[in-house]
């Protein structure tokens, strides 16, 4: 069974799957870079995992991976099929408060296959994703949420789910910011 991939291996896999989706690939590269910057907010032994999860968090958008309509579940299921560790699959499955969107799609049972880790690692992963725009631009979360709500119809699954997920995401970002500040002064 393969171990957790290295950041370099994760990058190659993400590139192979997402490069044809130009904007998505730009977003993922910027999320990985942001995750690297946020890595002092997590335990030293988890820093590489954070960056690996950032590289792989959106592979479910790849035409080669897409299946259920939930990119979070599809990405996690793909990684599971490759034999990667549960923890990595679960971080991808639940990234950025996925449970709200997945529930709206009627796929909560599928998502429940993976444990929802709430930890400095998941908080930092969500923060990296939710402060990076769709083409890789840096943005604050309020701006990012506004951008998402402009891109999707108000009663779409994504718009409704992202509105419902707001508090969970804000908590993850606040906690990551606090941990990063603490790490700077320790
Ligand atoms: Fe993303």
Residue range of the domain that includes 143: 7-185
Q: Which residues surround ligand 1, an ion (CB under 5 A)?
A: 58, 129
Residue from 94, 42, 104 nearest 71 by CA: 94
Q: SS3 helix, strand, coil % of the chain, rounded to 5?
A: 70, 0, 30
Number of domains into which the chain is organized: 1
Any domain includes 173? yes
Please tell me the predicted confidence (pLDDT) of residue 2: 77
The distance of Cα 109 from the centroid of its chain, to the nearest Å, equals: 20
> What tokens were used for 180?
């990063």
Any domain includes 144? yes
Quote the CA–CA distance of 7 and 113 in Å, as a whole number.
25
Any domain includes 1? no
Cα 186 to averaged position of ligand 1 atoms, centre (Å): 30
For the stretch 101-141, pLDDT in tens is 999 999 999 999 999 999 999 999 999 999 999 999 999 99
CATH of the domain at 152: 1.10.3210
> What tokens were used for 132?
């990076």
pLDDT at 90 over 70: yes
Any domain includes 79? yes
Round the average pLDDT of the chain to a whole number and report it: 96
Cα 87 to averaged position of ligand 1 atoms, centre (Å): 18
Cα 58 to averaged position of ligand 1 atoms, centre (Å): 5
Measured CA angle at 10 (ends 104, 135), to 5 deg = 60
Buried (b) or exposed (e) across 93-107, using 16+ Cβ within 10 A? bbbbbbbbbbebbeb
Question: Which H or E run includes 152?
Answer: none
Any domain includes 2? no
Any domain includes 66? yes
For the stretch 31-69, pLDDT in tens is 999 999 999 999 999 999 999 999 999 999 999 999 999
Cα 168 to averaged position of ligand 1 atoms, centre (Å): 16
pLDDT at 1 over 80: no
């Amino acid at each position: 069974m393969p171990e957790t991939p290295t950041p370099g291996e994760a990058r190659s896999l993400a590139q192979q799957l997402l490069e044809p989706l130009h904007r998505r690939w730009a977003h993922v590269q910027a999320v990985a870079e942001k995750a690297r910057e946020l890595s002092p907010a997590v335990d030293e032994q988890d820093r590489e995992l954070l960056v690996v999860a950032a590289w792989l968090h959106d592979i479910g958008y790849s035409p080669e991976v897409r299946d259920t309509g939930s990119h979070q579940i599809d990405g996690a299921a793909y990684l599971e099929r490759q034999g990667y560790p549960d923890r990595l699959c679960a971080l991808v499955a639940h990234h950025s408060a996925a449970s709200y969107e997945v529930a709206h799609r009627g796929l909560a049972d599928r998502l429940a296959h993976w444990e929802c880790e709430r930890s400095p690692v998941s908080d930092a992963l969500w923060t990296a994703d939710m402060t990076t725009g769709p083409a890789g631009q840096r943005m604050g979360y309020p701006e990012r949420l506004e951008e998402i709500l402009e891109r999707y119809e108000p009663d779409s699954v994504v718009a409704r789910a992202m509105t419902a997920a707001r508090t969970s995401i804000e908590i993850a970002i606040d906690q990551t910011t606090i941990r990063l500040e603490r790490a700077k002064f320790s």
